[in-house]
Structure 1
């Protein structure tokens, strides 16, 4: 018999918090409706008794042996399915020895994965159009992997469309850059550079062969140095004479750079700079075209950021904005986050309790069900430290949450309601939105102070408030839990998250430095591992920030990941690697000395190779998803848990952008001395395109339809990569021959003669001439730009090299000015400008399609709150005045309705706010209202497609 059978008595209860009906549980468990009869719920084979006289009681979760029902939702049949599902429900299910009951649940989980998680398109209509999740009215299919065009990604949001278009455009740019650098690759591997790099060619190691065509140099000799100190050189860069103890000879590199290599590299920098600027211009045009191809709520909506706090009536806002055009929807958001969080937490706790209830268990939400004495020692300890929450602890948390709900509602009732924070206005026509934005947009100072000469009294809300308005973000990109956060608190959160990010970056840099002292290959492996962990760490730090839109959150996340990855890959490698190990390294053998691979170039190759091979393979193998779908889901105890394992792998467009810009930055940073890095970068872009295309269609969760913020900031980071290319090229050319030795006396007439030095390890023949120590590293000496004037007393540059360094150094300074003032400076300028003048500017053409005619293709701003463990978001507003089929982008599954996901129900509020007091309830939640159009002209899907784009994009 189960131990969860007792009823604990004498429990101190908070004020009465009747729960009414049981929680509307999704994912196969369903909800028990109030009534005298008993209702079987879901497809798990379980039953929940619900007694109207004891509305809080759930008892006798008894396992039924009846045949399981088919999925209750009627989908239009689709014979197309994934290979994963066929294997899992066939061969794999037999290998796992699943019984009929488990197989049915497992198959329903795959059905959920294909119908809800994976993107599907509507069959027919001539165009591939994204279907709503759970679409049942028309036939839908999983997106094809090969027979589809690039234009289909416009349905996934502008950010996703721009990401894939960026990959294609950058691939073309990198292919041209790689072709331009073929002469340099051939020069470095030719006989004129380092005797054909025979040391690399004779090696069988992939890492050695990959360095062929780089600036690797194995032409060296030992020379005498008058003022050299061995402490300034690595032990592999000098030897002690066996015949003259205390006499040291130092290794010099005899490879010298030529003008042709510098000119090719300089031309490549110019090409990359111009190409990426043109790509940015093209992407802006492309974003407008993507926006025009798909009608979204952002085309019809605007957001009021500074409404009057007591203006909660949608009709008042509709009356005000109707002067600009016919209003379709109004959403008045309130500062009710505490209440909504408590309601969501109540739902989550009820779900966890329901999932943990065992057979023959009794549970009363007001009293409890467990005796603490019946818990084992481990369970008591786990409950006490919150390591593993059992039923007893979950029940206590639920009672505490309900007590806080009571207190919150009491507080709000006394204060008269929540204040208004934002208002979302959706017009029936795009023209209405544009008229309103053109008429009401003003400088930020005027909006803050409610003083503007350009906004007449008739266009001020309540004749006083100069509204701060802007075009709305997409509904799916709105972060409703954070729309009410003040600007001051947002900046405080950003300061904290960036402090943590910088601490991790610095800590990783010191870690790599310490590991590199032990083993170079291990250090490179740590860099690759850290690059994999960076998105996880930065995502956690970014979660500490509040953003009103997903686009803003993605932009902030992008900057954190980009800085961390750039620092960890290119910059840390450069800092920790000794300057004299740039072109080669030395390994002393018992008989002679042998030149081995460059420490610097080898680490660069290792990271680039990981970008090309390791990371794409890691994503496509999807270890977390495989574990959930093939090892955990088959043995889950009910449908709700199984469906949780089929949610798909979370991903971020910001992380994907940083992945490609990180590879670009690393390749450009070392391109002058490692021109084959262009080929590695090109291969990485192509593999990323193919792998990410597969992942978004078969493995990943749906991504919020964010805008162009990440693409815009990514363009700036790409230009910074080109800037790094230009600046570092000047330093690389100035550093040759990377040995910190300057010739002071050659071996000509009257000069130093060649000599043979007896070393402890064998005979070493030295070159003629006398050398002096000179620090050739202008970068670490903080000299900018790299110019020959900074050489100091000892000159190591040849006259030709000095001329080339002057050209590239001055050019790098010019690039710094152009990129900083042209892009970052312009951002500062426009930010100051918008304090005084409006920032709004029309983009794209009015498609002349009414909002109400986009049914099934659009949504509007309805407050929705996503909670882990639930299929759909909870709706934090009354559904009485909404057109749910038009305004929501998802459909309830199984036996549920939208009301089961509404937090305004009796089930959530109980007797806290009586149902016969609707005015009181209205003050607790956002006010939303849909206004049907005066003249409804309904277009068919094909007609809308023809209006947005006459071309057939199905191919």
Structure 2
């Protein structure tokens, strides 16, 4: 898409006027042969741009739906808490109402965590499919980006907006002769309050994902399907490809793992200062997640895709946003709760923005230059060492390429 609006050039190409027969030329580093998604290789750039606009529109609509769902639950919890407070003032103790109010408050945290774990990944995988990306690494980058942003918005931002700007009330106070408008929720620290709910989210977000990942219901479902087919082996009507898919382990999605980790990191640095115990929860959760993920990769998953280094590089760049989120989180929460903003937080934000805007890779190349060595081996000589090539991966040319490769062997 960047090349489409950049006269046919990608960001790292310096030449101008890449036009051939009145058509724009799109120049970029080619993907590895097994990194190409041949299903979308024929899609034109204009179609891809339109498809991605549609995908982003659907993504925004999904986020809007999440917002209204959490808002509805928050309003319900708020009214239940108000009803409990009124009954307590009148000396009435209704255990049923108190229990329902408590469960409603808890339900918000549980809904956010389980919705993120079971729904967001599936929905955004379908959304990214609509983008018709012909590169598996770029597909995973797009998926990891969208999922990370969606998980962070659901976990951190929506609750912040609802609790302080929609379900609270406005008061004016005077602080050092300056008027501050502060949005204060009726209950901030008590049951059903903002800090109470976010502490629950911290706890659930730290331990529910690794526990579910260890239980691995997807592998259980695959085992059940496999057992059912083995029981009806005599009446089996599966094709060879369908049988292979049932007998193999479930796919390992690297992008989903990145999304879970990125959401936890952003969320922790955003609310870490106001909820310090959340940092401890996140450290414990990420450590547990690492060992569970390692076990699943080695024992219960199959890795089909050979992704390039660009996915890891992109995720590292997204991780660098934690500096900005730290400053923004401190600034927003301090201004809302205490009516003051620390200058240190602004410095953190400025440092984070500058760090993300500066071309750090180019600066590193200038400071630590590396010698470029040209390849001296001819392609025909090196071909025998390749585990695959474009012809062998292309479904149209695969048979002829394999026959030719066998003859050369």
TM over 0.5, shorter chain: yes
Residue 549 of structure 1 aligns with which residue?
A: 135
SS at match of 2:302: coil
Q: What is the CA–CA distance in structure 2 between the aligned matches of 1:582 and 1:570, rounded to whole Å?
A: 20
Residue 573 of structure 1 aligns with which residue?
A: 159
In terms of fraction of residues, the more strand-rich structure is: 1
Counterparts of 1:196-345 in structure 2 under 5 Å?
none
Q: What is the CA–CA distance in structure 1 between the aligned matches of 2:400 and 2:374, rounded to whole Å?
A: 34
Corresponding residue to 2:221 among 627, 634, 643: 627
1:516 Cα shift? 1.6
Q: Cα distance 1:627–1:598, how it changes in 2: closer, same or farther (>3 A)?
A: closer
Q: What is the CA–CA distance in structure 2 between the aligned matches of 1:733 and 1:517, rounded to whole Å?
A: 24
Q: What is the CA–CA distance in structure 2 between the aligned matches of 1:864 and 1:881, rounded to whole Å?
A: 9
Higher relative contact order (CA 8 A, sep 6+): 1
Please tell me whether the aligned partners of residues 608 and 681 of structure 1 are also in contact (alpha carbons under 8 angstroms).
Answer: yes
Residue 195 of structure 2 aligns with which residue?
A: 601
Please tell me whether the aligned partners of residues 652 and 703 of structure 1 are also in contact (alpha carbons under 8 angstroms).
Answer: no
Corresponding residue to 2:399 among 876, 879, 895: 879
Q: What is the CA–CA distance in structure 2 between the aligned matches of 1:621 and 1:680, rounded to whole Å?
A: 20
Residue 665 of structure 1 aligns with which residue?
A: 266
**For 1:200-226, what per-residue CA distance to the aligned partner results, in whole angstroms no more than 9, with x for missing partners?**
xxxxxxxxxxxxxxxxxxxxxxxxxxx
Residue 680 of structure 1 aligns with which residue?
A: 281
Residue 390 of structure 2 aligns with which residue?
A: 861
Q: Cα distance 1:475–1:664, how it changes in 2: closer, same or farther (>3 A)?
A: same
Corresponding residue to 2:115 among 524, 530, 535: 530
Please tell me whether the aligned partners of residues 141 and 311 of structure 2 are also in contact (alpha carbons under 8 angstroms).
Answer: yes
Q: Cα distance 1:717–1:582, how it changes in 2: closer, same or farther (>3 A)?
A: farther
Residue 822 of structure 1 aligns with which residue?
A: 358
Q: What is the CA–CA distance in structure 2 between the aligned matches of 1:662 and 1:568, rounded to whole Å?
A: 10
**For 1:541-577, what per-residue CA distance to the aligned partner results, in whole angstroms no more than 9, with x for missing partners?**
1111112210111111122111211110010121122
**Alignment of 1:506 onto 2:68:** no
Q: Unaligned regions of 5+ residues in structure 2, if any? A: 4-11, 77-103, 165-182, 363-369
Q: What is the CA–CA distance in structure 1 between the aligned matches of 2:371 and 2:43, rounded to whole Å?
A: 28
1:732 Cα shift? 3.0
Corresponding residue to 1:808 among 300, 321, 344: 344
Q: What is the CA–CA distance in structure 1 between the aligned matches of 2:392 and 2:60, rounded to whole Å?
A: 35
Q: Cα distance 1:468–1:515, how it changes in 2: closer, same or farther (>3 A)?
A: closer
Q: What is the CA–CA distance in structure 2 between the aligned matches of 1:470 and 1:611, rounded to whole Å?
A: 39
Q: Calculate the TM-score normalised by the size of structure 1.
A: 0.32
Q: What is the CA–CA distance in structure 1 between the aligned matches of 2:285 and 2:186, rounded to whole Å?
A: 24
Q: What is the CA–CA distance in structure 2 between the aligned matches of 1:644 and 1:569, rounded to whole Å?
A: 35
1:703 Cα shift? 3.5
1:620 Cα shift? 2.4
Please tell me whether the aligned partners of residues 63 and 150 of structure 2 are also in contact (alpha carbons under 8 angstroms).
Answer: yes
Q: Cα distance 1:884–1:580, how it changes in 2: closer, same or farther (>3 A)?
A: farther
Q: What is the CA–CA distance in structure 2 between the aligned matches of 1:645 and 1:843, rounded to whole Å?
A: 46
Counterparts of 1:582-621 in structure 2 under 5 Å?
584-585=188-189, 596-597=190-191, 599-621=193-215
Please tell me whether the aligned partners of residues 479 and 547 of structure 1 are also in contact (alpha carbons under 8 angstroms).
Answer: yes
1:604 Cα shift? 2.1
Residue 8 of structure 2 aligns with which residue?
A: none
Residue 141 of structure 1 aligns with which residue?
A: none
Q: Cα distance 1:813–1:668, how it changes in 2: closer, same or farther (>3 A)?
A: closer
1:446 Cα shift? 3.3
Please tell me whether the aligned partners of residues 35 and 305 of structure 2 are also in contact (alpha carbons under 8 angstroms).
Answer: yes
Q: What is the CA–CA distance in structure 1 between the aligned matches of 2:326 and 2:28, rounded to whole Å?
A: 38
Please tell me whether the aligned partners of residues 392 and 398 of structure 2 are also in contact (alpha carbons under 8 angstroms).
Answer: no
Counterparts of 1:36-185 in structure 2 under 5 Å?
none
Residue 44 of structure 2 aligns with which residue?
A: 486
- The structure whose Rg is larger is 1
Q: Cα distance 1:694–1:819, how it changes in 2: closer, same or farther (>3 A)?
A: same
**Alignment of 1:723 onto 2:324:** yes
In terms of fraction of residues, the more helix-rich structure is: 2
**Alignment of 1:700 onto 2:286:** no
Residue 256 of structure 2 aligns with which residue?
A: 655
Q: What is the CA–CA distance in structure 2 between the aligned matches of 1:848 and 1:602, rounded to whole Å?
A: 64
Please tell me whether the aligned partners of residues 323 and 349 of structure 2 are also in contact (alpha carbons under 8 angstroms).
Answer: no
Q: Cα distance 1:480–1:813, how it changes in 2: closer, same or farther (>3 A)?
A: same
Cα RMSD for the two superposed structures: 3.6
Please tell me whether the aligned partners of residues 269 and 325 of structure 2 are also in contact (alpha carbons under 8 angstroms).
Answer: yes
1:632 Cα shift? 2.6
Q: What is the CA–CA distance in structure 1 between the aligned matches of 2:106 and 2:30, rounded to whole Å?
A: 50
Q: Cα distance 1:810–1:621, how it changes in 2: closer, same or farther (>3 A)?
A: closer
**For 1:625-651, what per-residue CA distance to the aligned partner results, in whole angstroms no more than 9, with x for missing partners?**
223324434323337565432232233
Please tell me whether the aligned partners of residues 863 and 876 of structure 1 are also in contact (alpha carbons under 8 angstroms).
Answer: no
Please tell me whether the aligned partners of residues 37 and 136 of structure 2 are also in contact (alpha carbons under 8 angstroms).
Answer: yes
Q: What is the CA–CA distance in structure 1 between the aligned matches of 2:24 and 2:244, rounded to whole Å?
A: 48
Q: Calculate the TM-score normalised by the size of structure 2.
A: 0.72
Q: Cα distance 1:878–1:475, how it changes in 2: closer, same or farther (>3 A)?
A: closer
Please tell me whether the aligned partners of residues 524 and 606 of structure 1 are also in contact (alpha carbons under 8 angstroms).
Answer: yes
Q: Cα distance 1:842–1:506, how it changes in 2: closer, same or farther (>3 A)?
A: farther
Q: Cα distance 1:549–1:539, how it changes in 2: closer, same or farther (>3 A)?
A: same
